[in-house]
Structure 1
Amino acid sequence: MQKLDKLAIHGGTPVRHTMNAGMLRGAMVVGPEETERVAQVMRAQSMSRYYGPDNQGAVSTFEDRLGAGLGMPYTLGVSSGTAALVVALKALGIGYGDKVIVPANTFTATPGAVICCNAVPVYCDMDETLNMDPEDLERVMDDEVKAIIVVHINGHPCDMDRISAFAAKYNLPIIEDVAQAFGASYKGQQAGTFGTINAFSFQMQKIITAGEGGAVATRDFNLFERSVRYHDQGSFRDKDRYVTPGSGLTAGEAVIGQNYRMTEMAGAIMLEQWEKRDLIISSMRRNHRKIKQALKAELPGIQFRKTVDEDGDIGCILALLHDSAERAKQFVEAMTAENFFTYFMYGAKPIYMMPFLLNKKTLEKNDFPFDYPFKKPVEYREGMCPNAERILPRMTLMPVSPIMTDKEADEVIEAVVKVYRGLELV
C-alpha cells in the first residue's frame, strides 16, 4: 500500500468526504417489494393477523418460512425482540424468586425482560469474543438460578458446546437471544436452534427487519402453546393449525396473557426480507473477510475480536481490540474524522453498570422483584465482571453494510491502515 496522507484529525484530507452508513442492515435493502406487500395488506383492510375482511396471512406465512428455514417446528411472530424474550421466559414459567443468568455484555432488553417477568438477572462475565465466558458460569450458579439467556453478540456465535454442557449439568433451560445474529451458526448449526426456546428480533438495526418485530422458536409444543397464549391474551386461535387428527397433540386451557402480536404489515415486510436474507449475509461476510484479511497483511500486529467459529460469523461488525482504552479512544476519534462510523459497544461498559440496573430501580413497590429474600442475595457492583470492564473500553466496532461496494471496503482498509500507522497503534 502506498504512503498515506496526514490524518484528518491532524488537518489532513479524510479518506471519505461524507460519513459512511451506520448500523442498518436489512433496512438498507428495503425496496418496492416490501412496499407492495404492505400495500396488499392495506388494500385488504386486514392489518391484524386475526381480524379483517380479507386476511392475507402474512404473519402465519412468515412463521412457516422461518420455522422451515431453522428446522424448528414451532415458530411465533411477536411484536418485538423484547416481547420474544418475555414470551419465552413466561413459557418456561420463570417468575418471582427466580434468577436468570445473562451476559455482562448485552442490550438492556435482555436483563430488562427478566425483570419484567418478575425474576432477577445475575451477570456472567464475557471474554474477547464479546460473548458470555463459559468459564465464569459456575461463579454465578446457585440453586435459585432457573434459566440461562445466551446472547450471540454482533453476529458471532457463542461457544455453545461449553454453554450447553453447563446447562445440561444443572438441567437449566437455555433461551438463545439471536437479536444481533440472525443467520449466524456454530459448527454448522444455526444460531437460534440450540436453545430450549429461542428469541429473534427484527428491529430497525437488525439483520432482517420490519422496523419492529420479533419471533419465538422452539421444538417443544407445550412451550409453544404457552408462548402463543401469553402473547395473545390467553388465546390459541390457530389451534387447528397444529392440533390435528393424528398429530398426537392436545391443547391446554386459556390463561391470562398480554398482547404481543405481530401485525400483518410487519409480517408482510418480513416475507420480503426473508427472501433477501442470503444476499444480506453473504455480502457482509464477503466484505468482512476481505477487510480482515487485508488488515492482517498490512498490519501484522492488529488484534481482532476472538472467534470460536470464524465461518459462523455473519460479518456485520469489524471489531478491533486495542492495547489500552486510551488507544481505543484515539482510534475512534481518528476514524470518525476520516468519516467512518466507529464506536464503543454500549458506552464501553457492561450492561449492569447502567444506573437503573446497578441500583435495581423499577416502577414497582419496593423495587419488586428485587425485594425477594434470596438465600444468596443478589448484589450488583462495579468490578463484578472484570473481563467485561477491562475489554469493552478497548474494543472498537465498525459496521459492515450489506450494500458495501468493493470501493467502500477498500476505503475501510485504507482508513484503518492510515489511522493505525498515523497513531502508531502497531
Structure 2
Amino acid sequence: MNHIPVSKPYFWGDELSNVTEAITTGWISSNGKFIDEFEQKFAEAVEAKYAVSLNNGTSALHLACDLIGLKRGDEVIVPDFSMIAPIFALEYMGCIPVPVDVDDTWNINPELIEQAITEKTKAILVVHNYGHPSDMHKISAIAKKHGLKIIEDAAEAIGARQNDIQVGSWGDVTCYSLYANKIITTGEGGMLTTNDEHLYQLAKSKRNMSFGPDQENRFLHEKVGYNFRLTNIQAAIGCAQVHNLEASINHKISIANEYSSILKDVPGITLPPSAQNVKNVYWVYGILIEETFGLSKNKLQEVLLHAGIETRSFFAPVHQQPFLKHVSFNPSKYHKSVKLARQGLYLPSYIGLSSESIMKVADTIAQVQLKI
C-alpha cells in the first residue's frame, strides 16, 4: 500500500510452464509450436480469420501501412488525440497524417472526417483510445463512400465492441500491441489481424524478410521485407495470456466501475466516456480535471505522487508534435484534443489492483478536493 504503480503486468500461472517448455525444447526464436498456437487463439479471440504475430505494435502499424499500399505523399486521416505509434508508422512510409479532432468518446469524430478528405487521401487510421471503440459504423460508411482503406489500431481496446461487433471487424487490417501495460501481454510484441487471405499471406512473408518459398530460392527476395518476428518464448507467454482474455477484460471493467462509484460525486472530475451500445474495456481509467476542481491536473499529480500513487498524463495532440513541423496544421480545429491533453490523466488500473488500493487512490483525490 506504500506505492501504487500506474501499471504492471499480470500473470495467470501457465506463462512460466509454457516458457520453460520453449526453452527446454530449444525453440526460443521465431519458430515453434507456440507461435502457431498463439496466432490461432488470438484470431479466434478477436473474431478474425487470420492473425500474424509481430515484435511490437508499432511494427504492426508499419506493416499494415505497407500491406494496403500506402506510398510517399499519400494522406491518411488520423485522430488528433492518439498515442504516437500510428503517426510514426505513417512517417516511416512517407505519408502525411491529417489529424481530425475527437468527439466526446475521446476518439476521432466521424462528423469531421469527410471535410478532411482530399484527392490525396488514401486511408483512415482509426485509433480506439483507452479502451472505448470509435464509431466504426459511421467511419466504415465514409470509407466505403470515398473508396478509402481502413486501418484499425486496437492496441488499447482488444475485446471492445460497438453494437456487439468487436473492434477489428471493420478494417482492412487491425493492429494490436502486446506491451507490458496492455490488457494481455508478451512483454514486447504485437499482432496484425485481417480477414483477407492475400493480405495475410503477404504479412507472413514480409514480417520474415520476404524469404523465397523454398531452400533453392530462399535468398531471392521478390519484395521488401522486415525483421518483425515474435519469438516462440514470447508466444508461449501469449498463449497463457489470451486464454485468460475475458477474465482480464472483466477485471478492467470491474476496476473502472469501482473508481466511478467513488469519484462520480467529486466535483470537477469528468469520468471516462461510455457511449450507448458499446463495450468499453477500460485499458486505462482516465479522468479529466476540470477548472471547477480547484487544482490543476499537474498539481493533482504531484499530490498523488507524494502519496505514493503513480499517474500518467494523456497523449499530446498530433498537431502539436515537433517532428511534424513540416506539415501545416490549423490549431483552431482541435479544441477537444487540446483539452484532453491539458486536463487528462489516468489512474492505476492494472489487473490485480485491489479494492483497497482503488479506495486509497479515489479517497486521496476526494480529500484533495475537500481541502481546497
Same fold, TM-score > 0.5, yes or no: yes
Pair 420,186 (structure 1): closer, same or farther in 2 beyond 3 Å: farther
Measured after TM superposition, the shift of residue 273 of structure 1 is 1.0
1:388 counterpart residue number: 337
Q: Which structure has the larger Rg over C-alpha atoms?
A: 1
Matches within 5 A, 1:270-309: 270-296=238-264, 298-299=265-266, 302-309=269-276
* Residues in 2 aligned to 1:288 and 1:222: alpha-carbon distance in whole angstroms: 40
Contact 2:182 2:283 (C-alpha < 8 Å) held by counterparts: no
The worse-fitting range, judged by mean Cα deviation, of 125-134 and 268-277 is 125-134
Task: Pick from 328, 331, 353 the counterpart of residue 297 of structure 2.
Answer: 328
Task: Pick from 102, 105, 109 the counterpart of residue 133 of structure 1.
Answer: 109
- Is 1:46 the counterpart of 2:46? The answer is no
* Residues in 2 aligned to 1:195 and 1:49: alpha-carbon distance in whole angstroms: 27
1:413 counterpart residue number: 362
* Residues in 2 aligned to 1:232 and 1:395: alpha-carbon distance in whole angstroms: 39
Pair 312,397 (structure 1): closer, same or farther in 2 beyond 3 Å: same
Contact 1:316 1:399 (C-alpha < 8 Å) held by counterparts: no
Measured after TM superposition, the shift of residue 236 of structure 1 is 7.7
Q: Secondary structure at the match of 2:184?
A: coil
Q: Secondary structure at the match of 2:192?
A: strand
Amino acid at match of 2:266: L
* Residues in 2 aligned to 1:307 and 1:145: alpha-carbon distance in whole angstroms: 30
Measured after TM superposition, the shift of residue 81 of structure 1 is 0.3
Amino acid at match of 1:82: T
**Long gaps (5+) in structure 1:** 1-15, 51-55, 239-252, 361-377
Contact 1:225 1:236 (C-alpha < 8 Å) held by counterparts: no
Pair 309,82 (structure 1): closer, same or farther in 2 beyond 3 Å: farther
Matches within 5 A, 1:225-244: 225-235=201-211
2:171 counterpart residue number: 195
Amino acid at match of 1:164: S
Amino acid at match of 2:272: R
- Is 1:318 the counterpart of 2:261? The answer is no
Amino acid at match of 2:3: M
**Long gaps (5+) in structure 2:** 215-220
Q: Count residues with an aligned counterpart.
A: 364
Amino acid at match of 1:305: P
* Residues in 2 aligned to 1:187 and 1:109: alpha-carbon distance in whole angstroms: 28
* Residues in 2 aligned to 1:337 and 1:320: alpha-carbon distance in whole angstroms: 19
Amino acid at match of 2:343: R
Deviation string 1:342-367 (CA, Å, 9 cap, x unpaired) is 23213xx313322122x24xxxxxxx
2:78 counterpart residue number: 102
Amino acid at match of 2:357: E
Pair 172,399 (structure 1): closer, same or farther in 2 beyond 3 Å: farther
How well do the aligned residues superpose, as a CA RMSD in angstroms? 2.3
- Is 1:23 the counterpart of 2:7? The answer is yes
Pair 419,317 (structure 1): closer, same or farther in 2 beyond 3 Å: farther
Measured after TM superposition, the shift of residue 126 of structure 1 is 1.6
Task: Pick from 112, 118, 121 the counterpart of residue 97 of structure 2.
Answer: 121
Pair 31,319 (structure 1): closer, same or farther in 2 beyond 3 Å: closer
Measured after TM superposition, the shift of residue 392 of structure 1 is 2.0
Q: Secondary structure at the match of 2:244?
A: helix
Measured after TM superposition, the shift of residue 99 of structure 1 is 1.0
The worse-fitting range, judged by mean Cα deviation, of 256-265 and 322-331 is 322-331
What TM-score, normalized by structure 2, do the two folds share? 0.90
* Residues in 2 aligned to 1:216 and 1:202: alpha-carbon distance in whole angstroms: 11
The worse-fitting range, judged by mean Cα deviation, of 134-143 and 30-39 is 30-39
* Residues in 1 aligned to 2:226 and 2:311: alpha-carbon distance in whole angstroms: 39
Q: Secondary structure at the match of 2:60?
A: helix
What TM-score, normalized by structure 1, do the two folds share? 0.79
Q: Secondary structure at the match of 1:289?
A: helix
Deviation string 1:94-143 (CA, Å, 9 cap, x unpaired) is 11121111111112211110111222211111233221122221232111
- Is 1:356 the counterpart of 2:323? The answer is yes
